[in-house]
Amino acid sequence: MALSRLNCFSSRSANLLKTLSSAISLRRPISTDTTPIIVETSVPFTSHQCEAPSRSVETNPKELLTFFRDMALMRRMEIAADSLYKAKLIRGFCHLYDGQEAVAVGMEAAITKKDCIITAYRDHCTFVARGGTLLEVFAELMGRQAGCSRGKGGSMHFYKKDSNFYGGHGIVGAQVPLGCGLAFAQKYSKDENVSFALYGDGAANQGQLFEALNISALWDLPAILVCENNHYGMGTAEWRAAKSPAYYKRGDYVPGLKVDGMDALAVKQACKFAKEHALKNGPIILEMDTYRYHGHSMSDPGSTYRTRDEISGVRQERDPIERIRKLILSHDLATEKDLKDIEKEVRKEVDDAIAQAKESPMPEPSELFTNVYVKGLGVESFGADRKEVRATLP
Amino acid sequence: MAAIFQGAGAAAALLSSPSNSIDSKKFLFSPRRSFYVRKGASFGVVRSDGSVNLDLNPKGRRAQQLIANAVATKADSSTASSSSKSGHELLLFEALGEGLEEEMERDPRVCVMGEDVGHYGGSYKVTKGLATKFGDLRVLDTPIAENSFTGMGIGAAMTGLRPVVEGMNMGFLLLAFNQISNNCGMLHYTSGGQFTIPIVIRGPGGVGRQLGAEHSQRLESYFQSIPGIQMVACSTPYNAKGLMKAAIRSENPVILFEHVLLYNLKERIPDEDYICNLEEAELVRPGEDITILTYSRMRYHVMQAAKTLVNKGYDPEVIDIRSLKPFDLYTIGNSVKKTHRVLIVEECMRTGGIGASLTAAITENFHDYLDAPVMCLSSQDVPTPYAGTLEEWTVVQPAQIVTAVEQLCQ
């Protein structure tokens, strides 16, 4: 009896402690707690020509909550872009990244803003992860002046020079030699940073990729090639496009690592490992096994070449945000309500950004001719013929 | 080669004949409006024979003063002729190498990438000696992968390096067309001005001596519509060095077209540091009757034809347009307003070539000043054949130029 009362008492105090701690965490929505937590990745890494890193990833509550918030923001942003496209405010091409957020977020957690990232056209979330604001994203998508490229780039041309985000490229595979060029410049300036060149499973069959890989391996460049394998190159499944869909092995003499791209912590571990490796031994290939819920772009329903069951299956079992949510809840870092509040906050942030972006004006007509050439040469551009020559060079 | 030197010699003889006095003072005081005269390196051709015209030095210093009036230029020329610096003689490929070396010394961010540019010394010896001097990280031998090493050069340029990418033959750069068009030309625009691409892409092109169709291509016509790039073509050691240096210093991507047959031209160039304006055309020979616009190797064919024309009593004005994109319509326009007749002589194909664009530009802008339609002599629209006689008929020959001038000046 006394024992049970004791138990009752201790359980009540435990409950009290629990509510107390949750109350405390309520007051600090993003926990500033950095006590390390060790988490195991969902699946072990498979490696090619190198030693795989350990499955145990060190993280902390602050990081996990940041992951959750960032990924929720990205997810919300992409869904909002979907509706804007259907409302004809965004035109042309719009390639959405929902489902793949863990790659952007996990990579960012492993590196600094001095490391370079370059990617292809599915770049909205990578841009945000590098520090781009929502206003810049939506304004650029809608072609307004407040956009990151002043409305002149569009969905496929997001760039952020001050945080070393080099875009944003429309032609499949062309960004990989550029990325190796970034790594070359880093080696040239001897600044101990690395470059991540992201590409998809479709681009993995481009010749220029292997050319660039050869040169990077020859010259020992700190280049990390990351294949975001979402298993479909537009409408073509990977097994129909590649004789060997083991993209991490395709480097042959270049080591490779296969990573579960829906697990942000696995991505973080792999990128950290890759950075250390690249600085010492030259290029390495990372294959992120990920998935996109939307079609290739807004004009692709995404269901003609894959079943709805497949899509919903992945969403149920491997969704990156759900994984982090479960982690947070199981480690008691926040309550369900906290996380719902974060999502509501994020939704409001996105809506505000859209409203603000809608108010931004369209570019001036004179903007048509700016930035064709670098100013300061005193040259205006009116096509191949200029009426006056007014140029001085340094 | 012999033909070209012959042309040079002929030009020399031509220029020193009294009927067209090239006395600098005389044509500077031309009573017509503010006709800006640039002294061209045709005098360079003359100089290599020994006839003296030392007014070339101001060219480099004059990079700052473009719209100079007669007085300013005259002052320059007098100071120049009073200085007894005689410069040094070298071949065109050495001039290119010298320009490249000086820029690499001046700015540690300049590097060279290309096939066989390093240890081999360059397939046309332009980069000879640079690898031993600057090391493997600044003079890079690439594998045969134009698409990717051009892309890498552009990526490096985005971060602030200033690579000079060499295509062993301009024709090989077709493999890198995507990188040159989309990334090189357009990144400054699509990033809203965030990135500049200060890259120089250079290489020899043009019809050589029986090199075959694939190695005799003229890529200036393919690249001319790419927005965001500048194109220049060098023709003498003087402007080769000047344009190379200017291209490296420019913040814009520049494509420098050299010509396989011009690498062994010899000329005396100044010792001091000078650059040539990237967007300026060069007056090779002043005249009154007709304006002949040309560039690269065809300049020498034109000068050879000019000798014949002078003997027949014509007075052609020859302008080496040098800047293929954008055109220097200022110089060209002034010339058209003076002579009222235009002949374009180029090595590009007839269809869609530089001459075609130039014809359109002149007709659009100076239609009222023309007494006759613009005539354009270009290479035939055929793949360049191997046989020597056929190859000769593909490109414009001096006799055809003479005929064309006679036709226009009727």
**What's residue A32's pLDDT?**
78
Q: Hey, are the CB atoms on A182 and B158 less than 8 Å from each other? A: yes
Residue A199 CA to residue A331 CA, distance in Å, equals 34
What local confidence, expressed as pLDDT, does residue B85 receive?
59
Which position has the token pair 């344009």? B243
Per-residue pLDDT tens, chain B, 410 aa: give them: 443 333 333 333 333 444 333 333 433 333 444 333 343 333 333 333 333 333 344 444 443 333 333 333 333 444 444 444 588 999 999 999 999 999 999 999 999 999 999 999 889 999 999 999 999 899 999 999 999 999 999 999 999 999 999 999 999 999 999 999 999 989 999 999 899 999 999 999 999 988 989 999 999 999 999 988 999 999 999 999 999 999 999 999 999 999 999 999 999 999 999 989 888 899 999 999 999 999 999 999 999 999 999 999 999 999 999 999 889 888 999 999 999 999 999 999 999 999 999 999 999 999 999 999 999 999 999 999 999 999 999 999 999 999 999 999 98
- Report pLDDT for A11: 53
Average pLDDT, chain A: 88
Residue with tokens 């005799």: B216
Integer angstrom CA distances of residue B316 from B31, B37, B275, B308, B362: 19, 15, 28, 11, 18
pLDDT score recorded for residue B279: 87
B146 is catalytic: yes
Q: How far apart are CA B284 and CA B294, in angstroms?
A: 10
Beta strand residue intervals within chain A, DSSP E: 37-40, 46-48, 56-59, 116-118, 195-200, 223-229, 232-233, 236-237, 256-260, 284-289, 385-386
Q: Cβ separation of B194 and A149 shorter than 8 Å?
A: yes
Chain B residues whose beta carbon lies within 8 Å of the beta carbon of residue A130: none
The tokens for A352 are 């505000």
Instruction: Compare all CA atoms of chain B with the CA of A363 and give the residue at the minimum distance.
Output: B192
Q: What is the distance between the alpha carbons of residues B291 and B316, in angstroms, rounded to a whole number?
A: 6
Distance of CA B12 to the CA centre of its chain: 20
A160 CB neighbours in chain B (<8 A) are 194
What band does A31 get if pLDDT is binned at 50, 70 and 90?
low
| Nearest residue to B267 via CA among B95, B98, B89 | B89
What token pair was written down for B346? 């180029």
Of B183, B279, B326, the CB nearest to A174: B183
What per-residue confidence (pLDDT) applies to A16? 54
Instruction: Give the CA count within 13 Å in the CB-facing half-sphere of B39.
Output: 28
CA distance B313 to chain A (A): 33
Percent pLDDT > 90 in chain A is: 78
Mutate to test the interface with B, among A211, A387, A388, A392 (most CBs of B within 10 A): A211
A174 to chain B: which residues are within 8 Å by CB? 151, 178-179, 182-183
pLDDT at A219: 94
- Mutation for testing the B interface, residue in A123, A162, A215 having most B CBs under 10 Å: A215
With a cut of 0.95, is the ipTM above it? no
In this prediction, residue B12 carries a pLDDT of 39
A273-316 pLDDT, tens digit per residue, is: 999 999 999 999 999 999 999 999 998 888 899 999 999 999 99
Give pLDDT, residue A75: 96
How many angstroms separate the CA atoms of B259 and A198, rounded? 39
Instruction: Pull the structure tokens for residue B67.
Output: 């719209």
| Nearest-CA distance A343 → chain B (Å) | 31
Q: Is the pLDDT of residue A356 over 80?
A: yes
Instruction: Tell me the domains of chain A and their CATH numbers.
Output: 37-363 (3.40.50.970), 368-393 (no CATH)
Q: What is residue A247's DSSP assignment?
A: G
B188 catalytic residue (yes or no):
no
In the block, tokens 């971060």 appear at B159
What are the φ/ψ torsions at residue B257 (nearest 5 degrees)? -95, 120
Q: Do B191 and A159 lie within an 8 Å CB cutoff?
A: yes
What are the structural domains, with CATH classification, of chain B?
87-270 (3.40.50.970), 282-409 (3.40.50.920)
Q: Least CA distance to A179: which residue of chain B?
A: B155
Q: Does the structure show a pLDDT above 60 at A12?
A: no
Query: pLDDT of A128-181, one tens digit each?
Result: 999 999 999 999 999 999 999 999 999 999 999 999 999 899 999 999 999 999
Asked if B147 is an interface residue toward chain A (Cβ–Cβ < 8 A), one would say: yes
Q: How many CB pairs under 8 A join A and B?
A: 196
Comparing A11-15, A216-220, B179-183, which segment has the lowest mean pLDDT?
A: A11-15
Which of chain A's residues have a Cβ under 8 Å away from the Cβ of B66?
389-392
Tell me the pLDDT tens digit for each residue of A32-75: 788 899 999 989 999 999 999 999 999 999 999 999 999 999 99
Indicate the pTM of the whole model. Answer: 0.80
Instruction: Measure the CA dihedral B67/B225/B298/B167, to 10°.
Output: 110
Q: What pLDDT shows up at residue B368?
A: 93
- The whole-number pLDDT of residue B21 equals 38
- Nearest C-alpha in B relative to A219: B137
Give the mean model confidence (pLDDT) for residues A377-385.
45
A329 has pLDDT over 90: yes
